[in-house]
Structure 1
Amino acid sequence: MTAALSSAPGAGHAPAVRTDTPADDPSRAPGVGGPSLMAARPEPADLDPRRALRELARWRGAGQDAASFPYRAVLGHYRTVGKNAVGDELLTALRAIRPQGGAGPARLLADWLPQVVDGRHGDYAGYAGIPVYTSLAENGASTDHVITALLADIVETETATLAGAPAGRPRARAALRALIAAAGLAARYGTTSTPRAPDEDAALVRAGAEAARAARERVTADVLRAVELTLTPTTRSHDEQMFIRLIQIFEAVFAAVARAVAAATEAVGTGRIDLAQKLLDEATRHVTGTSGVFRVLTTMPKDAFAVIRANTDGRSAVQSRTYRAVERSCPTLHLALVRSGLPEAELAPAMAELDAAWGAMKRTHWGITMKVIGTVRGTGGTDGASYLREAAEVRLFPALG
C-alpha cells in the first residue's frame, strides 16, 4: 500500500514521507509486516508533538539539567510518527540544545542528540545511536551486557505483538533462542523458547517475559538506559525496530573485535602472546555468536526492507567505522607478530579461527541479503548483495597463508 505520513497537528512543515508499506494500513495488526504497537495504538499525547515541545520549554526554563531531560516525551512522538515525519518546530527546538559537561547525564544527552536532530538526512552513526554505545564502551561496559539488553528488547517487542499476528512467531522464537544463548540462560530455560502446546503464543509470551526479565537482571543500569534511549526508527514499521536493534548488536560485536585486535597487537609488542591469544579467542566468540542474530534477521519481509531502504538513504552500514577498523587492524597485528620474532605458530591458530568466523559471518550476511533484497541496491545506495559477495572474499589475515 502506498501512503504518505503527514505532519501531525502542530508539527510544523514536515515533508511528506512515502512509506510504501502496510504499516499505514489501519486494517493491519501491529507486528511483522505491519505497524509498530506505538504507531498502531498511539497515545494522543505522543501523536501530537506539542507535549514534547511544552516539556522541552519547561526543561529549558528550569535550567536545562541534563539529568531531567524529557526523553520520554520526545521519544514517544518519534516512535509514534517515525523520525522522517517529525516536524520542523520540534527539530529546531532539539537542535538548539547545547549540553554542557563531558560526563554522566550531560555526556549521555550529547551522545543521544545526533540521532534525533538529523531529520531525513542523517548518517549511519546517528541511525544506530553509535555515540551512546561508544561512550558505554569507553566507560567499561560489557559487550555481553549490551548484546543481552538489545536482544531482551527485541524479545519483548516481538512477543508483545503476537496476538493476532501469527507471522511473528518465527521471529519471536528466534529472538528468544538468541537471548537465551547470549545471556547464558540455557540451563535455566532449556527449550522453552519453542513451546508446542496448543496455546503456544501464550506460552511463548510467558517464556519471553521471563527470559527478558532474567537477562536484564544481569545487565548494568547504564546499559539498560542506553538501550532504552537509542530506538528512533525513521518509519512507523514494526520491522524497522528489529532492524535497528540488530544493527546495534552487530556494531557492538565489531567494536569488541576491533578493541580485541588492537589490544592483541599491543600484547604481541610486549611479548605477551598468551594474552594476545586470549583476546583473539574472545573476539572469535563474539563473532560466532552472531549466528543466532542472523536467524532473527531472516524473518524480515522483503516489502518491509524495501521501505527501510527507501527511508534510510545516506545511512548505509558501509559507513561503519568499527567494521573498517577490524579489517584494517588485523594485517597490522600479523605484521607486529612477524616483527616481534615470537613464534608465529603459537598465535596463528587463534588468528585463523577469527578469520574463519569473520568470513562465515560475512557469507551469511550475503546469503540473507540475497533472500531479502535480491540484486536490488542496498541501504545507502550500495550494490547490495554483489557488494557483500565481494566483501565476503576479503580475509582478515591475507598473509597468514
Structure 2
Amino acid sequence: MTTALSPARAAEPAPADDPAGTPGVGGPSLAAARPDPDDLDPRRALREVARWQSGDRDAARFPYRAVLGHYRAVGKNAVGEEVLTALRAVEPAPAQAAEPAARLLGDWLPQVVDGRQGDYDSYLGSPVYASLTEAGACTQEVLTALLADVVEIESATLADVPAGLARTRAALRALTAVAGLPAAYGTGAAPGAADEVADLVRAAAEAVAAARDAVPAGVLRAVELTLTPTTRSHDEQMFIRVIQIFEAVFSAVGRAVQMATEAVAAGQTDLARGLLAGATRQVAGTSGVFRVLTTMPKDAFAVIRANTDGRSAVQSRSYRTVERSCPTLHLTVQRGDLPADGLRSAMRELDTAWCAMKRTHWGITVKIIGAVRGTGGTAGAAYLREAAEARLFPALD
C-alpha cells in the first residue's frame, strides 16, 4: 500500500497491487475511484479533529465524516502517522464519559488507530457491536443493517459494472430473508430483461429503505461507522460486512447455548430447546450470506489477504465461545434428571447446521484461494477442512 501521508500533500499514487479501473466487483470502491479531493488529503481530517480537541470535546459532534472519508478514500493501511497520532490523542470531555455518544466514540477508536498492527476485533469494530448487544440491540436488527449496507454498496456500482448483478441479487435475497421483506424485493427484473440493471437498482433502493426503517438509529449509526477497509478495494467492503454478519451470528449462538445451559440446570427444558432452535435458524440463515461471498474474485481476495496480516478469523472469541460452551451444555444435560429427548434432538440439529456451515466455508475457500494461506496467515482451506470435521457435541449419541 501507499507510504505514510504528509499533512501537506495528497495521497500518493496507488501501487500495482491496489485495485484500479472501474469501481465495483474486482475494482476499487466508489470512495476510492471517485473521491472528494478533500478526502484524499489528510489535512481536512487533521484540521477537524484538532478543532474538536480544542473545543468542548462533545463526543456527539466528533468529526466522523472527515475521518472516515479519508480512510475510505486511501485505505486504512495507507493512512499516515500524523492522522493516527491525532486520533490516538482523542478523548471526550470527562463529564461525558457515561453518555452513549462517548461510549460509541471510545468503542470506535480502536478500529482507526491500529495502523497495520490491528487484530481481528479492530478490523471488524467488535467493541462497537459488543456495546450494541449490551444496550439491547437484537441480532436481527444488526444483520438487517449490515445486509442493507451491502445491498446499497453493491447496487451503487451496477451502472458501471453489470457483472455485479449476481452479487447484488444474492445480497438482496439475503436482506429480504433476514428483514422479513416481501419476496418481490429480492428479485428485481428477471435476468436478461432489457431494464435488468435499472429494475434491480430500484428494487435494492426500496428494500434498503424498508429495512432501515425497521432498525433503530443507534444500530444504523454503529454499522455506518464500522467500515474501514485496509485497501481501496470494493470487494473488501463486502468482505468486512460478511465477517461482521458472521460475528453477529456467532455471538447470538454463543449466548443461546449459554442461556440454554442455564435453563437446563433450572429444569426448563422447553426454554432450552427453544433457544437452541433459534440458534439453529441463525446458523442455517448464513447460507444466503455465503452466496454473496462466492462472488469474490480470486485476485481481489489476494489483495485483501496481503493487507490483513494478523487479522485472522481464528481470533474470533465468539466462534470459540460457541465451540467451548457446547460441551458444558451436553454435560449439564447428562447430569440432569429430566426428560431430554427433545432437547437432544435440538442439540443434534444445531450440530448439523454448524458443521454444514463450516463445510460450506471450506468449499468457498477452496474456490477462492485454493491451497494458499488465508487471511492473517492461517493455513487457509486446509485449516478449514480440519475444523469442519469438529462437531459441537461429539459425544451425543
Q: Do the aligned partners of 1:17 and 1:85 also contact (CA within 8 Å) in 2?
A: no
Distance (whole Å) between structure 1 residues aligned to residue 242 and residue 362 of structure 2: 15
- Name the counterpart of 1:97: 90
Distance (whole Å) between structure 1 residues aligned to residue 64 and residue 51 of structure 2: 13
2:2 counterpart (5, 10, 15) = 5
Distance (whole Å) between structure 1 residues aligned to residue 332 and residue 384 of structure 2: 29
TM-score (norm 2): 0.96
The residue correspondences of 1:189-204 to structure 2 (distance < 5 A) are 189=185, 191-192=187-188, 194=190, 196-204=192-200
1:393 maps to 2:389: yes
- Report the Cα offset of residue 190 of structure 1: 6.2
The structure-2 alpha-carbon separation of the partners of 1:88 and 1:8, relative to structure 1 and needing over 3 Å to count, comes to closer
**1:142-170: per-residue Cα shift (whole Å, max 9, x none)?**
10010111000000100100112122111
- Name the counterpart of 1:156: 152
Distance (whole Å) between structure 2 residues aligned to residue 16 and residue 188 of structure 1: 43
- Name the counterpart of 1:377: 373
1:357 counterpart (328, 353, 356) = 353
The structure-2 alpha-carbon separation of the partners of 1:321 and 1:76, relative to structure 1 and needing over 3 Å to count, comes to same
Distance (whole Å) between structure 1 residues aligned to residue 100 and residue 228 of structure 2: 22
* Percent identity for Structure 1 against Structure 2: 71
- Report the Cα offset of residue 119 of structure 1: 0.2
- Report the Cα offset of residue 16 of structure 1: 9.9
Q: Do the aligned partners of 2:10 and 2:42 also contact (CA within 8 Å) in 1?
A: no
Q: Do the aligned partners of 2:358 and 2:384 also contact (CA within 8 Å) in 1?
A: yes
The residue correspondences of 1:2-401 to structure 2 (distance < 5 A) are 4-8=1-5, 10=7, 20-21=17-18, 23=19, 25=20, 28-99=21-92, 100=94, 101-187=97-183, 189=185, 191-192=187-188, 194=190, 196-401=192-397
Hey, which bits of structure 1, 4+ residues long, moved more than 6 A? Answer: 11-17
Show structure 1 runs of 5+ residues with no match. none
Q: Do the aligned partners of 1:237 and 1:304 also contact (CA within 8 Å) in 2?
A: yes
**1:216-238: per-residue Cα shift (whole Å, max 9, x none)?**
11111111000000000000000
2:26 counterpart SS class: coil
Distance (whole Å) between structure 2 residues aligned to residue 266 and residue 84 of structure 1: 44
Distance (whole Å) between structure 2 residues aligned to residue 113 and residue 76 of structure 1: 15
The structure-2 alpha-carbon separation of the partners of 1:14 and 1:383, relative to structure 1 and needing over 3 Å to count, comes to farther
Distance (whole Å) between structure 2 residues aligned to residue 17 and residue 319 of structure 1: 30
Show structure 2 runs of 5+ residues with no match. none
The structure-2 alpha-carbon separation of the partners of 1:400 and 1:31, relative to structure 1 and needing over 3 Å to count, comes to same
Return the letter of the residue paired with 2:170.
A
Distance (whole Å) between structure 2 residues aligned to residue 16 and residue 163 of structure 1: 26
The structure-2 alpha-carbon separation of the partners of 1:16 and 1:344, relative to structure 1 and needing over 3 Å to count, comes to farther
The structure-2 alpha-carbon separation of the partners of 1:155 and 1:14, relative to structure 1 and needing over 3 Å to count, comes to closer
Q: Do the aligned partners of 1:11 and 1:87 also contact (CA within 8 Å) in 2?
A: no
- Report the Cα offset of residue 189 of structure 1: 3.3
Distance (whole Å) between structure 1 residues aligned to residue 11 and residue 321 of structure 2: 37
- Report the Cα offset of residue 339 of structure 1: 1.2
**1:292-317: per-residue Cα shift (whole Å, max 9, x none)?**
00000000000100110000000000
Comparing 206-215 with 93-102, which one deviates more in the overlay? 93-102
Return the letter of the residue paired with 1:259.
R
Distance (whole Å) between structure 2 residues aligned to residue 18 and residue 281 of structure 1: 49
The structure-2 alpha-carbon separation of the partners of 1:114 and 1:15, relative to structure 1 and needing over 3 Å to count, comes to farther
- Report the Cα offset of residue 191 of structure 1: 3.6
Return the letter of the residue paired with 1:62.
G
Q: Do the aligned partners of 2:172 and 2:186 also contact (CA within 8 Å) in 1?
A: no
Distance (whole Å) between structure 1 residues aligned to residue 11 and residue 116 of structure 2: 10
Q: Do the aligned partners of 2:327 and 2:393 also contact (CA within 8 Å) in 1?
A: yes
* Equivalent residues, number: 394
**1:174-200: per-residue Cα shift (whole Å, max 9, x none)?**
111111111111345364375542111
Q: Do the aligned partners of 2:6 and 2:80 also contact (CA within 8 Å) in 1?
A: no
2:393 counterpart SS class: coil
1:113 counterpart SS class: helix
